[in-house]
């Protein structure tokens, strides 16, 4: 595995991290035994940057991760998040208040069975709470030794700048992939200005660009069924795009997933993607992307493929987009 430095720190993180959400949340049937085996395999492969959140499976993902995290604590850089809360009917809302954060971090530490979280993100920015107030409260956790570094997720440029003025923001988590490139306009340049590492989630576009996903076979409760990219004309466009990427990847002797991850990695040393998986075979495939070098010509050819299939669709439905800080 190749390692990249978390900016403004001495932390060496695997260039390809591991998103653990799907092991407990959102993507169909669970298989805890395979998930645990996948976590152990991640250690074997040198993947030391693991990402979870308190809302994934209503805390069950943190508990699952803890089974491998605790006996291997010094080998893993662990990130988790707070902010989403569940109502009695199972729907969620966001609470970025300092009062809730204090209870959330204690609950996460208990589920994870560790004393300190390496990287603690606010899962979103609460429009009802000044971001300076939220980050100020998060900074207290650093002073108390409960958290080492602070991060934001899906935050606007204005919010990032305000937050960073209160306490250094070490990482920003945003969706970034071949077909999700919003961050390139303003967010990525700002991260580079402020010395913040960008941590792309869904760098494989929720499996869409891997050419392994049968969208007709998605479980009824798989949340991808609600996303515009998996529907109608957008889906037709994206399947054609994926076939074109698959053909180019084959010429390179790599898989479509490795091409997609290598493209994200090629965007800069300050970009550390966290593709999610709950299966060892996909973890191994993802890890192999760290060794793929794309030439200037390769990147130009990928750009041409993307240009031919522009109708990719919005990454979230209208309701979910409202939770993204603009």
C-alpha distances (whole Å) from 66 to each of 9, 50, 113, 151, 199 are 25, 11, 6, 21, 22
CB-CB contact of 55 with 88 (8 Å): no
Neighbours of 88 (CB within 10 A): 5
Q: Which of 56, 121, 282, 309 is catalytic?
A: 56
121 is annotated as an active-site residue: no
Report the alpha-carbon distance of residue 86 to residue 22 in Å, rounded: 18
Report the alpha-carbon distance of residue 153 to residue 175 in Å, rounded: 9
12-14 and 49-51 as β-strands: parallel, antiparallel, unpaired? Answer: unpaired
Q: Please list, in sequence order, all residues whose beta carbon lies within 8 angstroms of the beta carbon of residue 53, skipping any fewer than 6 positions away.
A: 21, 61, 62, 80, 81, 82, 84, 121, 123
* Cα torsion angle, 199, 204, 208, 209, sign: positive
Report the alpha-carbon distance of residue 184 to residue 44 in Å, rounded: 33
CB-CB contact of 238 with 229 (8 Å): yes
Q: What is the dihedral of CA 248, 215, 200, 265, to 10 degrees?
A: -20
Q: Is 14 exposed, middle or buried (0-12, 13-18, 19+ CB in 10 A)?
A: buried
Q: b vs e for 203-219, b when ≥16 Cβ sit within 10 Å of the residue's Cβ?
A: bbbbbbbbbebebeebe
| Structure-token pair, residue 190 | 């700002």
The set of catalytic residues is: 56
């Amino acid at each position: 595995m190749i390692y990249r430095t978390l900016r403004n720190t001495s932390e060496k993180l695997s260039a390809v991290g591991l998103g653990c959400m799907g092991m407990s949340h959102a993507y169909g049937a669970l298989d805890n035994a395979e998930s645990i085996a996948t976590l152990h395999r991640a250690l074997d492969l040198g993947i030391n940057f693991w990402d979870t959140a308190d809302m994934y499976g209503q805390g069950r993902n943190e508990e699952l991760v803890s089974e491998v995290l605790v006996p291997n604590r010094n080998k893993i850089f662990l990130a988790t998040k707070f902010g989403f809360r569940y109502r009695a009917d199972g729907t969620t809302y966001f609470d970025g208040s300092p009062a809730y954060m204090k209870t959330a971090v204690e609950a996460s530490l208990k589920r994870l069975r560790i004393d300190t979280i390496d990287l603690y993100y606010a899962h979103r920015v609460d429009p009802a709470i000044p971001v300076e107030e939220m980050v100020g409260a998060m900074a207290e956790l650093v002073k108390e030794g409960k958290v080492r570094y602070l991060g934001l997720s899906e935050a606007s440029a204005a919010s990032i700048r305000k937050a960073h003025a209160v306490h250094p923001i070490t990482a920003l988590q945003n969706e970034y992939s071949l077909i999700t490139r919003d961050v390139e306009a303003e967010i990525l340049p700002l991260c580079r200005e402020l010395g913040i590492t960008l941590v792309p989630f869904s760098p494989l576009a929720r499996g869409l660009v891997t050419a392994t996903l049968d969208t007709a076979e998605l479980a009824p409760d798989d949340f991808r069924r609600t996303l515009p990219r998996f529907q109608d004309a957008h889906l037709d466009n994206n399947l054609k795009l994926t076939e074109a990427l698959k053909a180019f990847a084959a010429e390179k002797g790599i898989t479509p997933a490795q091409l997609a991850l290598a493209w994200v990695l090629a965007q800069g040393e300050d970009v550390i993607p966290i593709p999610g998986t709950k299966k060892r075979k996909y973890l191994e495939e993802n890890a192999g992307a760290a060794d793929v070098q794309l030439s200037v010509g390769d990147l130009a050819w990928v750009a041409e493929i993307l240009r031919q299939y522009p109708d990719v669709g919005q990454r979230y439905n209208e309701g979910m987009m409202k939770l993204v800080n603009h």
